[in-house]
Amino acid sequence: MSEVRFGQAINRALADAMAADDSVVVFGEDIAAPGGPFGVTRGLLDRFGPDRVRDTPISEAAIVGAAVGAAMSGLKPVVEIMFMDFVTLSMDALVNQAAKARFMFGGQYALPMVVRLPHGGGINAGPQHSQCLEAWLAHVPGLKVVCPATVADAYALTRAAIADPDPVIVVENKSLYALKGELPEPLPSAAIGKADVARPGRDATIATYGAMRAVALDAAGLLAKDGIEADVIDLRSLQPWDEAAVLASLARTHRLVIVHEAVEAFGVGAEIAARMADIGFDELDGPIVRVGAPFMPVPFAKELEAHYRPDASRIAEAVRRTLA
């Protein structure tokens, strides 16, 4: 058991995967010699050499497109797009190529590739360096999307993504990179598509993921002072997502709040709410409430951004609404 930071756990996962399998290669903007904009890939170049750890030009379309071709030709590329906002420039490769190759070629090709996408606000990076666009990617058949919230999951889900035979997007909240936590020994593993109960409770379910896990736990703390026990479900994986775990929680609490940092409208929360309103209809004793960002770009100024991101009091208020 050792205490490491979230970013270091991803680094360890990359290094362990590269040590275990020569076909794992890592490339992206400033990830080799500079060690990555957030230091996540530090040391990999020295350990694994310039053939397998490469700095690319600022070419997001070619980075992901090349990952597709490399995966079709026997490598397991793990590429980084410096900020999730920049994946807008990679969308053909992700949506038309990576996501469809297995299907449209009749299962002839596997695409074991990973795209790491730092998302989220909280560092005053402004409208083009803060977005949470994971719902776009979870909407595309053929892609998998995971979003770790803890140090152990940062390691486990990164390893699971690299081991997966399909293209997996690993969404990493930038505000979590410095988070300290335990990386247990033996090292943890995780199955893509399995949620985790972050906190058990009997009164209301809060389903969330990524950086909002900690905020939801804070909200649960506020609610506990009033005798309301929230069941906090950390989804960990958005595509596929653990419908059974959310339904099981709903069957215990009969109330559901879904929380994410991404814009509320047309988001991950909308999908979960729609499914639970269908298959969980008989369990519901109150409205399903979503807590997400308002329908606006991520603002820059400290006061604006603080107001933009969901906080514990908004989540607690939403839970009270479902109980009212």
Give the residue ranges of DSSP H helices in 211-255. Answer: 212-225, 243-253
| 62 part of the interface to other proteins, by CB under 8 A | yes
Catalytic residue among 119, 129, 254, 260: 129
| 25 part of the interface to other proteins, by CB under 8 A | yes
User: Distance between CA atoms of 319 and 324, rounded to whole angstroms?
Assistant: 9
| 115 part of the interface to other proteins, by CB under 8 A | no
Residue 81 CB, nearest approach to other proteins (Å): 13
Among 164-172, 220-228, 255-263, 293-301, which window interacts with other proteins (CB under 8 A)? 164-172
| 116 part of the interface to other proteins, by CB under 8 A | no
Residues 4, 26, 71, 259: which binds other proteins (CB under 8 A)?
A: 71
To the nearest 10 degrees (0 to 180), the angle between helices 151-163 and 6-20 is 30
Among 38-46, 90-98, 117-125, 246-254, which window interacts with other proteins (CB under 8 A)? 90-98
Residue 23 CB, nearest approach to other proteins (Å): 8
Is 129 designated active site? Answer: yes
Name the residue type at position 178: A
| 278 part of the interface to other proteins, by CB under 8 A | no
Residue 9 CB, nearest approach to other proteins (Å): 25
* DSSP element (H, E) containing 116: strand 114-119
Contacts with other proteins in 177-196 (CB under 8 A)?
Answer: 192-193
**314 burial level (CB within 10 Å; 0-12, 13-18, 19+):** middle
| 108 part of the interface to other proteins, by CB under 8 A | yes
| 159 part of the interface to other proteins, by CB under 8 A | no
Q: Which segments within 148-305 are labelled E, that is strand? A: 168-173, 180-183, 196-199, 204-208, 230-234, 237-239, 256-263, 289-293
| 82 part of the interface to other proteins, by CB under 8 A | no
User: Distance between CA atoms of 263 and 311, rounded to whole angstroms?
Assistant: 14
User: Distance between CA atoms of 137 and 144, rounded to whole angstroms?
Assistant: 8
| 52 part of the interface to other proteins, by CB under 8 A | yes
Contacts with other proteins in 238-257 (CB under 8 A)?
Answer: 240
Among 102-110, 224-232, 253-261, 303-311, which window interacts with other proteins (CB under 8 A)? 102-110
To the nearest 10 degrees (0 to 180), the angle between helices 212-225 and 312-323 is 60
* DSSP element (H, E) containing 89: none
Among 50-58, 123-131, 228-236, 315-323, which window interacts with other proteins (CB under 8 A)? 50-58
DSSP string, 26-60: EEETT-SSS--TTSTTTTHHHHH-TTTEEE--S-H
β-strands 180-183, 168-173 pairing: unpaired
The residues annotated as belonging to the active site are 129
Residues at the site binding other proteins, with contacts judged by CB under 8 A: 25, 51-52, 54, 56-57, 59, 61-62, 64-75, 77, 92-93, 96-97, 101-110, 141-142, 144, 164-166, 192-193, 240
